[in-house]
């Protein structure tokens, strides 16, 4: 399980940069990022090295931010890697609300961040099939 931080943000130049600067200055590593935008505003979703500290730092800087639990699962960086994972989830009737990928080691490993309804069950199924489920503590 990893903690994803989602930050509400107006869609204007320099807004995203404000977040990355604060995190960089605080020595927090961004492991993954995804942006959902509606036009005028959006939600920035980030996976970071120290989510609790990052949450505190963003709040202090008056960002509207919330924490969400996500499944982060390692897949092989090769054709069909993601497909196999999704087949497994759909066979088990697990619905995916949100999903984005990050590279861990280029050409070797990648990870998929999943937002699912049935949280512990999903992790259990994945582990049962031999997948590596990552957590905040593990280096990425």
Partner 1 sequence: MYWEKDLETLDRKELERRQLEQINWTIRQARNSSFYSGLKINRIDSLEAIQDLPLTTKEDLRNQFPYGFLAVDRERVIRLHSSSGTTGKPTVVFHTREDIDRWQNLIARSMYAVGVRKNDVFQNIMGYGLFTGGIGFHYGAELLGVMTIPIGPGNSKRQIWFLKHLRTSVVHILPSYALRLYTFFDELNIDPKKDLNLKIALIGAEPHSNEIRKKIEELYGIKAYNSYGLSEMCGPGVAFECTQQAGLHVWEDHFYPEIIDPDSMQVLPEGEEGELVLTTLSREAMPIIRYRTRDLTSLIPGNCPCGRTHRRISRIKGRNDDMLIINGVNIFPIQIERTVMAIPEIGNNYLIEIRKKDYMDKLLLKVEVNEQVFQGTLSELEKLQRKIIVELREELDLTPEVKLVESASLPVSDGKAKRVYDFR
Complex with partner 1: residue 55 or 131, whichever CB lies closer: 55
Q: Rounded to 5 degrees, what are φ and ψ at 103?
A: -90, 140
Token pair belonging to 104: 């861990």
Complex with partner 1: residue 52 or 60, whichever CB lies closer: 60
Binding site for partner 1 (CB under 8 A): 4-6, 8-10, 36-38, 40-43, 45, 59-60, 62-68
* Shortest Cβ 116–partner 1 spacing (Å): 14
* Shortest Cβ 110–partner 1 spacing (Å): 24
* Shortest Cβ 32–partner 1 spacing (Å): 15
Give the C-alpha distances (Å, rounded to integers) separating 107 from 2, 75, 82.
Answer: 23, 11, 14
From the centroid of its chain, how far is CA 19?
A: 16
* Shortest Cβ 120–partner 1 spacing (Å): 20
Complex with partner 1: residue 53 or 109, whichever CB lies closer: 53
Give the C-alpha distances (Å, rounded to integers) separating 85 from 49, 72, 102, 136.
Answer: 25, 12, 15, 21
């Amino acid at each position: 399980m990893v903690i994803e931080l989602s930050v509400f943000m107006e869609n204007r130049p320099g807004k995203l940069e404000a977040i990355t600067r604060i995190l960089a200055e605080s020595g927090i590593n961004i492991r993954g990022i995804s942006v959902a935008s509606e036009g005028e505003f959006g939600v920035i979703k980030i996976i970071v090295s120290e989510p609790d500290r990052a949450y505190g730092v963003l709040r202090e800087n008056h960002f509207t931010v919330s924490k969400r639990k996500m499944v982060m699962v390692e897949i092989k960086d090769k054709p069909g890697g993601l497909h196999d994972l999704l087949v497994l989830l759909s066979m088990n009737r697990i619905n995916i609300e949100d999903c984005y990928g990050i590279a861990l080691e280029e050409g070797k490993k990648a990870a998929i961040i999943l937002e699912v309804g049935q949280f512990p069950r999903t992790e259990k199924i994945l582990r049962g099939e031999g997948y590596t489920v990552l957590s905040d503590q593990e280096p990425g």
